Structure 1
């Protein structure tokens, strides 16, 4: 499994929890940015911490050294603990905050992941355990076990895990796995994947004819499926800020090519090759999600289902663009000059901003993060 991904800027990312259950105790190792939890940000309502009215308080917490941040966490912990549910059968388990491992202050524009150890004593009745937290604390990835016998769940909206036994791991049906990963794949296009949405819109603006669109989508899909599988299996371990920068460059390239290439009714192999190459990069971007998720049981079904969700999201973007732009205006003589070129230039401008942002030359714009 690929290691944890460092996320720049102020983007809200899910927390990761590794759960170990014995006959007498639950131990949860929680990897998360604790500053939003201390500040009381509602992570269910924002995608970027800059969007919160408490952003200033949050940013001041980011600048605190580990000892002071640990003290702030300890003081805020009773309120945070009330939003966490850990239950065995019908019994709510008191959670004890144990070891707190906070990295030193580095670049305050980069998310600082801390590690918390949470423990709870179990009753003697052998009942399984469920775990989750309030929607306001954001997404939560829960992992139990290891390898083929692992259980992995991505919880949003205040959802709870399946019942996790004291021996072995929670079981999921094939249908549950497929549904969960299809939804996750779609979610990482709409609404969370603005960079992927813009890339797909760049493909749409290339030509309205179905053959160019089919070839581009097929090349893009095949490519990101390959690298998604390789990265998730650990054969490729990308440096994410480089990948995210190259993804931004791919958006610029596709958009600029739309502007300077002239109107198209067919597609050549160079364009297909370029889209395939960029698809390899985008697959590595998706892999940053699945590397934390873990695929556990039903590996092949999980990978395929995630890709299906991604494709449904991409097709939804293309269908929406066609209904709003292609269908009413595609046959008009002004379509290219009034829609394709301005639309592509806007996409190129956003992609250019992202390139400079991701290499640290410009700051965040909340509506573009």
Structure 2
């Protein structure tokens, strides 16, 4: 399971109405996203982004190419970026959150290693920002029980839950996510196509609050990102829990060992054909992503043999990851700095959340 809090939705259906997204609506979303990209180039300071991860294990190259590099791109473009460590959401599908402090620090290391700058981006944790979580109560009043019950994402998560019994947090987490996005008045949320319905919960909450109490929240836009389809080394979905992914903190030797054991096929000539040769094509794509090249050209250069393919992928990945590993190792030597980064981010996020909560109280007439 991806850790990005906005990549947990898989069904392509409206999360409020339960109706399927149409081809036309997807086309509209793509056009809107293209317009947003143009605006980002012209006026990046007019946007605020909320994104984040659940601290459930080490991030890997799938996360990097799927979400992390886009976060760094937006940050470097001048977009105000909030990165949430969603520690409370770990409990949505687990009875307990094990080794949480350690996992949170590893998550911080991964973000610093890939280029997230705590001076330009706010990195913070759910549990350290009470005002954010307090927004959950008024937001829940804006969504009916029936709407939550037919939410396809909630249904899917419940079906795959690790808990002995499904908790109320699982039932309400789409609204909790709305609080994550709206507490800082984020007006831009990077998502994949399959997550568009999930963002609609937040958009609905923002509209309903403003209709009922007056204007407080922007209705956030989706910034569509095309995540490359990278399989795990066993040919199945890349997942940290399956041991089939290359963690950002993996050593060069561990990376080489994983790639050496990667699944391929019996055909000798290497081609890039994701539909008919998914395992081989995923390895070719990984090399191409690391080299900044075209996968068809990479396949042609490799020519024949799984061994040659794996050598090329190993070299490309280890070369690409070397600077990240060096930065990660340097930051890992100073755990005090990591705690300071999170403490500072918590304070900055807390101040924003308190200001938003004050506006909500004023709008609702509960500002005593």
Fold match (TM-score > 0.5): no
Report the TM-score when normalising by structure 1.
0.24
Between structure 1 and structure 2, the one with the greater Rg is: 1
Which structure features the higher share of helix residues? 2
